[in-house]
Amino acid sequence: LPGGGVRFTVWAPAAQRVAVRVDDGDPAADHALARDADGVWSAVVASARAGADYQFVLDGGPALPDPASRWQPHDVHGPSRVVDPAGFAWTDAAWRGRAMADYVIYELHVGTFSEAGTFDGAIPHLAGLAELGVTAIELMPVAEFPGGRNWGYDGVQLYAPESAYGGPEALRRLVDAAHAAGLAVVLDVVYNHFGPEGNYLGAYGPYVTGEARTPWGDAVNYGGAQSAEVRRFAIENALYWVTEFHADGLRLDAIHGIVDASEPHLLAELVARVQRQASALGRTVCLIAESDMNDPKVVRPAAEGGYGFDAQWSDDFHHAVHVALTGETGGYYGGFGAPGLIAAALRDPFVRPARAPGAPDAPWA
């Protein structure tokens, strides 16, 4: 906080007591939080500062990491760490982003892209990507995952840039350097499920629901009982990357795994909120979907009943090429073995008809 201290906040609607255990150099001390009508607990700890480690204690149980932790320096099971979101000295004030039509994207896995396998390790290679004609790098998911190496799709701390890659300040350095090199930065984000290891969300609240299933287990609770805070958790995460990390775009993983019968749909609400924030920041932010539904509503403007994404991955083209090269026809690749499908996917946006999740030919039927 500007006047000193840190405000700790967490949603735990079923808890009777919540405390934050802060370790700021002295013996860790517990500080009681106060509950509001929505089950959100909060308190200001005047002695806490950036760099202090902390955990939440619910009803006298084990100390747990913050679901919205900005940094997990000791991996998914360890304490969270306070970060000053305004502490980084950005140098990209003149950068305003790129239009979607100007994107030439290089998909980048931070852990394998450089010998160091870190955010900082990628920086010396940015100029070379720009010389190739790349205009945007897309970082595969960087939210904290268990262990030191992972594709990133089993992240459990959605707000915490991976500690093995260098954590939040290193990610900011990478984005700042990319902008200096003329490269936009797209972050791959996963809102269709949470990873299994280090996932303490169930101790806090109903983040998932058994009323619907996905290939990864119970669906995220975006439309059931007490879902308002879960929706907020996802939408504010998107805003967080755009605002605090200057991300130029987000690629939303497998949106066909996002189950929501609400109006507006979570995706439409998320796109609208991000675009309002981009306008307020005076920047161009592009939103890209991965979808196996083959439904043009994904990129149809909101005014026409769509979700309003700027683009979506051409999965039919990808699947047709994959089958041609590997011969694999199981799962996602079923039905893509016919000759001529590559040409068809280049000619038409969708080769297969639109299908809803759970339909007989849907991705996880």
Rounded to an integer, what distance in angstroms lies between the CA atom of residue 120 and that of residue 259?
A: 36
* Coil, helix or strand at residue 171: helix
Q: Cα(234)–Cα(191) distance, rounded to whole angstroms? A: 7
Task: Judge whether 75 and 198 are in contact, CB under 8 Å.
Answer: yes
Which residues are within 8 A (CB) of 299 and not within 5 positions of it... i.e. 6 or more apart?
289, 306, 307, 308, 309, 310, 311, 312
Distance of alpha carbon 240 from alpha carbon 274, whole angstroms: 10
| Cβ atoms of residues 44 and 6 within 8 Å | yes
State CA 113 to chain mean position distance. 20
Separation between Cα atoms, residue 54 and residue 111, nearest integer Å: 27
Distance CA 245, CA 187 (A): 10
* Candidates 154, 162, 253, 260; catalytic one: 253
Of 290, 292, 310, 316, the catalytic one is: 290
Tokens of 146: 């268990």
Q: What's the CA dihedral at 203, 73, 248, 319 to 10 degrees?
A: -70
**Helix, strand and coil in the chain, % to nearest 5:** 30, 20, 50
Element (H, E) at 108: strand 105-108
Report yes or no: 56 and 64 within 8 Å, Cβ to Cβ. yes
Q: Tokens 């502490």, residue?
A: 87
Question: Is residue 290 among the annotated active site residues?
Answer: yes
Helical spans, DSSP H, in the chain = 110-113, 119-122, 126-132, 167-180, 201-204, 228-244, 266-281, 315-326, 341-347
Q: Which residues are catalytic?
A: 253, 290
